[in-house]
């Protein structure tokens, strides 16, 4: 099933929380709406479901305009962050409730409940009540209740945010496998960029109610459209340093680096990812110079935070630069070091507009 949002906007009085969002979700596609709290992503999802009215624009499902159609007639299943289970019903009753509403025969309901419960590994828990389940099990019940309806599309509003980190990782894998197996069109809302990168076929990045970029996770990461996308996607996030461009070099406090942008530009931000730079001797040519502020052993790598002069986007005075180093990295805090940044792995942004600057 195809879901199309055509320039949909939402205003509450004089405040517009979503500005002309347009996108098309292809059949069986997993599209993630990603952005910080208050960016309009949940509002867009609720408008798609019919739970919020549309101020302007249209919503089409399989080419049919459903902008004014009631939620129950849109053939969409929504999974909420809060599970929304009936506490007085067993797992089986919770899963089968949409079929009871449709007045299916009891034997058919029991058959579909068993089949669906097996898909999400709940077949041994059908007689339990929600209070007897873990957070992950409750979320699987909510998913099973959505699956049993066999809807045309899933709408998911941060369904994993109440789970601990280990369980979130497990449920991400289950969700991705389930969506692939069922081949159901899915729109998923999250503020967690790791969820977006691991689950999505495509990601729509939103900020302050406006679309920043819509693309595959790989292109969002490797080819960000602006400084917001570059800084929001990535863990740890992209490094930024303020400076100017002249004579094919970026110049900032304690920084002079060759960059493939021949034009002269004042007030730019240089960006580069932690895995694309490395620690070298402080007297090495064409490198940033600073001192080690902290080191964090993550397991397969060490995150080295260095302080250099100047100020980048969102940093404290004395810009912090994070380098992803080998797990054997071992230097004392306060050690003076150089940071080598390959010119081909750098990004430049206009400091005022935030837009990406590209070599012609």
- For the chain, the residue count is 360
pLDDT by 10s per residue, the chain, length 360: 899 999 999 999 999 999 999 999 999 999 999 999 999 999 999 999 999 999 999 999 999 999 999 998 999 998 887 778 999 999 999 999 999 999 999 999 999 999 999 888 898 999 999 999 988 889 889 889 988 988 889 999 998 887 778 878 888 888 888 888 889 999 999 999 999 999 999 999 999 999 999 999 999 999 999 999 999 999 899 999 999 988 888 988 767 888 877 677 888 999 999 999 999 999 898 889 999 999 999 999 999 999 986 544 444 445 789 999 999 999 999 999 999 999 889 999 999 999 999 876
**Residue 327, SS3 per DSSP:** coil
> Which strands sit side by side in the sheet containing 356-357, from one edge to the other?
255-258, 249-252, 239-246, 265-272, 346-350, 356-357
Please give the structure tokens belonging to residue 237. 């996030």
How many C-alpha atoms does 44 have within 13 Å on its Cβ side? 35
User: Would you state the pLDDT for residue 318?
Assistant: 55
User: Would you state the pLDDT for residue 337?
Assistant: 94
pTM given for the model: 0.88
Question: How far is Cα of residue 122 from the mean position of the Cα atoms in its chain?
Answer: 28
**Residue 318, SS3 per DSSP:** coil
243-250 long-range contacts (CB < 8 A, ≥24 apart) are 243/268, 243/269, 243/270, 243/310, 244/268, 245/348, 250/346, 250/348
Closest C-alpha to 74, from 23, 141, 149: 149
Burial (Cβ within 10 Å: 0-12, 13-18, ≥19) of residue 70: exposed
d(Cα 125, Cα 127) in Å, to the nearest integer? 6
User: Would you state the pLDDT for residue 309?
Assistant: 66
Closest C-alpha to 265, from 345, 350, 342: 350
Do 224 and 233 touch, CB atoms closer than 8 A?
yes
User: Domains in the chain, please, with CATH?
Assistant: 3-227 (3.40.50.300), 239-357 (2.40.50.140)
User: Would you state the pLDDT for residue 360?
Assistant: 65
């Amino acid at each position: 099933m195809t879901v199309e949002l055509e320039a949909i906007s939402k205003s509450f009085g004089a405040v517009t929380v979503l500005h002309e969002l347009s996108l098309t979700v292809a059949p069986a596609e997993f599209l993630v709406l990603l952005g910080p709290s208050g960016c309009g992503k949940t509002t867009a999802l609720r408008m798609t479901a019919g739970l919020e009215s549309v101020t302007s624009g249209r919503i089409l499902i399989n080419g049919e305009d459903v902008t004014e159609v009631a939620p129950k007639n849109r053939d969409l299943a929504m999974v909420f962050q809060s599970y929304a289970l009936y506490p007085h019903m067993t797992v089986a009753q919770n899963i089968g409730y949409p079929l009871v509403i449709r007045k299916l025969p009891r034997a058919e309901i029991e058959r579909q409940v068993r089949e669906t419960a097996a898909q999400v590994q709940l077949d041994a828990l059908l007689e339990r009540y929600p209070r007897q389940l873990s957070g992950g099990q409750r979320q699987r019940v909510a998913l099973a209740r959505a699956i049993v309806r066999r809807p045309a599309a899933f709408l998911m509003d941060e369904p994993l945010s109440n789970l601990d980190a280990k369980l979130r990782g497990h449920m991400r894998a289950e969700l991705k496998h389930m969506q692939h197996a069922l081949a159901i069109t899915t729109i998923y809302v999250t503020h967690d960029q790791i969820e977006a990168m691991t689950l999505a076929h495509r990601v729509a990045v939103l900020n302050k109610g406006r679309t920043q970029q819509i693309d595959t996770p790989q292109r969002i990461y490797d080819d960000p459209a602006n400084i917001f996308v570059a800084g929001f996607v990535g863990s740890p996030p992209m490094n930024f340093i303020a400076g100017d461009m002249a004579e094919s070099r970026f110049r900032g406090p304690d920084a002079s680096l060759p960059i493939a942008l021949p034009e002269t530009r004042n007030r730019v931000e240089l960006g580069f990812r932690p895995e694309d730079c490395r620690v070298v001797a402080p007297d090495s040519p064409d490198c940033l110079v600073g001192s080690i502020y902290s080191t964090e052993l993550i397991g397969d790598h060490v995150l080295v935070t260095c302080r250099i002069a100047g100020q980048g986007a969102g940093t404290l005075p004395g810009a912090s630069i994070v380098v992803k180093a080998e797990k054997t990295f071992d230097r004392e805090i306060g050690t003076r070091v150089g940071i080598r940044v390959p010119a081909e792995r750098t990004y430049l942004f206009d400091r005022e507009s935030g837009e990406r600057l590209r070599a012609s």
